[in-house]
Homo-oligomer: A and B are copies of this chain.
């Protein structure tokens, strides 16, 4: 398969890209690195990306930011950081990516455990991840051309344990190969509308 991994140089994205490369042709895109540049907050940038890559068999998104801050300090604009990036950025990848996805191809979006098991200072991430879960369940009933869509929801990943572990008290860090397996399951499997929880 020809697979586009967006956010392919992040902690999760680079691991996923490396794993998929074992069996597939992988092209990566990122804000400042990868085979192509893309800003998922910008629809024109997304269209430019797809025009450069041409048609692919799978579109994998490991991209999107959210605001990490205490609720009492969160402004309305802070909430829109995650809305514009990880929420609508990923939804726009699906909206605009459909015509560049071969028949029978798949979308795989990234959410996270915070949708269902949030920790302190994660109101923005929790809402964004929860939104994408609902979206995936709903849109899987409407995609054409045999397109599938799933979300991978990783817990705190082992490679982020040192940096972020203190923010996730009592969470079990998830080995990176299990996270990568979630994406393989989505891309190579046949299910659609699945929230693939990799919680450790």
Contact = CB atoms under 8 A, between A and B. Distances in A.
A157 interface: no
A142 B128 CA distance: 18
A123 interface: yes
A137 interface: yes
A141 B83 CA distance: 21
A188 interface: no
Interface residues of A, number: 41
A134 B139 contact: no
A139 B123 contact: yes
A87 interface: yes
Contacts of A133: 115, 130
Please tell me how many copies of the chain the complex holds. Answer: 2
A134 B135 contact: no
Instruction: Tell me what chain A mostly uses at the interface: helix, strand, loop, or mixed.
Output: helix
A129 interface: yes
A152 interface: no
Contact of A134 (B74, B127, B138, B144): B127
Contacts of A87: 127, 131
Interface string A130-155: 11111101110111100000000000
B115 A134 contact: yes
A164 interface: no
Given A88-B76, A95-B74, A134 B129 contact: yes
